Chains A and B, each alone.
Chain A
Amino acid sequence: MLSKRIIPCLDIKNGRTVKGVNFVSLRDAGDPVELAAQYAQTGADELVFLDITATEEARATLANLVHDVAEAINIPFTVGGGIRSVEDVDILLKNGADKISINSSAVRNPQLINDLSSKFGSQCVVVAIDAKEIDGQWKVHLVGGKVPTELDLFEWAQEVEQRGAGEILFTSMDHDGTKDGFANKALAKMCELVNIPVIASGGAGKKEHFIDVFKDGKADAALAASVFHFGEIPISELKNDLKQAGIQVRI
């Protein structure tokens, strides 16, 4: 049976892991390759690297990093942040990324989703959506959640599926950073509406939140950063708890 996935997310700037990593076993907490290898060994099902660097020179650094990560780990990983074109994706995939994720650039140029999925296949195209609930309406936000749009979250989710996205990474801006649980109602609604896997993001604070996001939120995968990076929730413990709760996980 297909299992639910647990995905740590690493923020990258100029080829280094940004803030918030506290692994005693790491020699260099800023080295994404070492951190990735650690996660691969301790039960992560997949990794997401989010590049928050803006400059063009740093894009080359990212390609090198992708190469080094692919060399080191034996689980799949996704790379996102600043991807705007078919050429950007080609370089990352050639260096060993399994999937790429696009966010603002997909909203500004929805045709990019079609172009990427027809050239590289849906399986490697993740569309990340940041959204916030405003007066009972979930609205898509851009630039890391800073800029609101008029796009309805659920309509946009259906559109990206139709355009060939293979997966949706949905971050609730209302829940992100709260450690108060995922946006389960919105997630469950999205999972009803689309027929591609949905990765839930934003709000993980306790192990119970992961049980809830799979049971109530119907998510296919759950992504988190700080709870994993600071060792607050060891992935092996989390997976044991999920299994006890009757959720299919890879142990």
Chain B
Amino acid sequence: MKLVIIDYGAGNIKSIQFAFERLGVHAVLSSDAKEIQAADKVIFPGVGAAGAAMKMLKDKNLDTLIPKLTQPVLGICLGLQLMCRYSEEDHTPGLGIFDVDVKRFDASKVKVPQIGWNSINSLKTELFDGVNEDSYIYMVHSYFVPKCDQTIAEATYDGAYSAALRRDNFYATQFHPEKSSSVGEQILKNFLAI
């Protein structure tokens, strides 16, 4: 199987690569359109700010490529947020894969960023096969995606929100499966099996 992690300059991609190596799968880091298109599975990572990350995607012409991919794609953290319609962060138009907008946590009600282990529930799809309801996963984020039709896992911070989304071949997690201990490993394994 050929697994490609999209390398566009945003994020701790080394950790994702290591996580797959622990599962016995070598992931290639690439920003090359042909190599990404030819992959069996694609990881779309991201940490940092939405505006800067979207600019880096555009510079590499990846903003038009990603929504057209037909193989299973897994967005992680900021990757998930960029796959949405629009983000309040830097007023950034997204890739429009998910029909929902990204909002900022209300700092008058909760600490921002949310950092730490939160539990996920209402788990749907094969991405969560073998994962128990209320399992803990590692989250680090200031912006969030509200619950919507494409939500396949929920978490609660300033109210319930989307911990994971899916549309067709596109999956995405707000949390970091590569940093979420054995639960995260199960989720990555499930993605590889899709």
Q: Is the CB of A75 within 8 A of B181?
A: yes
Q: Is the CB of B136 within 8 A of A3?
A: yes
CA distance A121 to B48 in the complex (A): 5
B126 to chain A, nearest CB (A): 21
CA distance A122 to B104 in the complex (A): 14
> B33 at the A/B interface (Cβ < 8 Å)?
no
Which of A5, A74, A120, A121 has the most chain B CB atoms closer than 10 A to its own CB? A74
Q: Which residues of A contact B141 (CB under 8 A)?
A: 123
**A2-B114, A3-B117, A123-B113 are contacts. A74–B47 as well, Cβ < 8 Å?**
no
CA distance A122 to B107 in the complex (A): 15
* Cβ < 8 Å to B, chain A residues 153-198: 166-167, 195-197
Which of B112, B156, B181 has the most chain A CB atoms closer than 10 A to its own CB? B181
User: Closest chain A residue to B112 by CB distance?
Assistant: A195
User: Closest chain B residue to A44 by CB distance?
Assistant: B181
> B190 at the A/B interface (Cβ < 8 Å)?
no
CA distance A121 to B19 in the complex (A): 22
Q: Is the CB of A74 within 8 A of B107?
A: no
> B37 at the A/B interface (Cβ < 8 Å)?
no
Q: Is the CB of A197 within 8 A of B116?
A: yes
> Which of B18, B139, B185 makes the CB contact (< 8 A) with A96?
B18
Q: Is the CB of A124 within 8 A of B47?
A: yes
> A113 at the A/B interface (Cβ < 8 Å)?
no
B101 to chain A, nearest CB (A): 20
Q: Which residues of B contact A120 (CB under 8 A)?
A: 47-48
> Which of A1, A40, A96 makes the CB contact (< 8 A) with B156?
A1
B186 to chain A, nearest CB (A): 11
CA distance A118 to B49 in the complex (A): 8
> Which of A122, A197, A250 makes the CB contact (< 8 A) with B136?
A250
**A45-B116, A250-B117 are contacts. A96–B14 as well, Cβ < 8 Å?**
yes
**A74-B180, A124-B47 are contacts. A96–B15 as well, Cβ < 8 Å?**
yes
**A3-B117, A74-B182, A123-B140 are contacts. A196–B18 as well, Cβ < 8 Å?**
no
Q: Is the CB of A196 within 8 A of B48?
A: no
* Cβ < 8 Å to A, chain B residues 129-145: 136, 138-142
> Which of A40, A94, A196 makes the CB contact (< 8 A) with B112?
A196
Q: Is the CB of A71 within 8 A of B18?
A: yes
> Which of B115, B142, B181 makes the CB contact (< 8 A) with A167?
B115
- Against B, the Cβ 8 Å flags (1 = close, 0 = not) of A24-45 are 0000000000000000100001
Q: Is the CB of A123 within 8 A of B47?
A: yes
**A74-B184, A76-B138 are contacts. A221–B116 as well, Cβ < 8 Å?**
yes
Closest 4 interchain pairs by CB?
A250-B136, A121-B48, A96-B14, A250-B117
Could you write out 24 A-B pairs with CB less than 8 Å apart?
A1-B118, A3-B117, A3-B136, A4-B116, A67-B14, A70-B15, A70-B18, A71-B18, A75-B180, A76-B176, A96-B15, A96-B18, A98-B140, A118-B49, A122-B113, A122-B142, A123-B115, A123-B140, A124-B47, A166-B113, A166-B115, A167-B115, A196-B113, A197-B116
18 new A-B contacts at CB < 8 Å, known A2-B118, A74-B22: A2-B117, A2-B139, A3-B118, A3-B136, A71-B21, A74-B19, A76-B176, A96-B12, A96-B15, A96-B18, A97-B12, A121-B47, A121-B49, A122-B113, A122-B142, A123-B141, A197-B111, A221-B116
Q: A-side interface residues toward B, CB under 8 Å?
A: 1-5, 40, 45, 67, 70-71, 74-76, 93-98, 118, 120-124, 166-167, 195-197, 220-221, 250
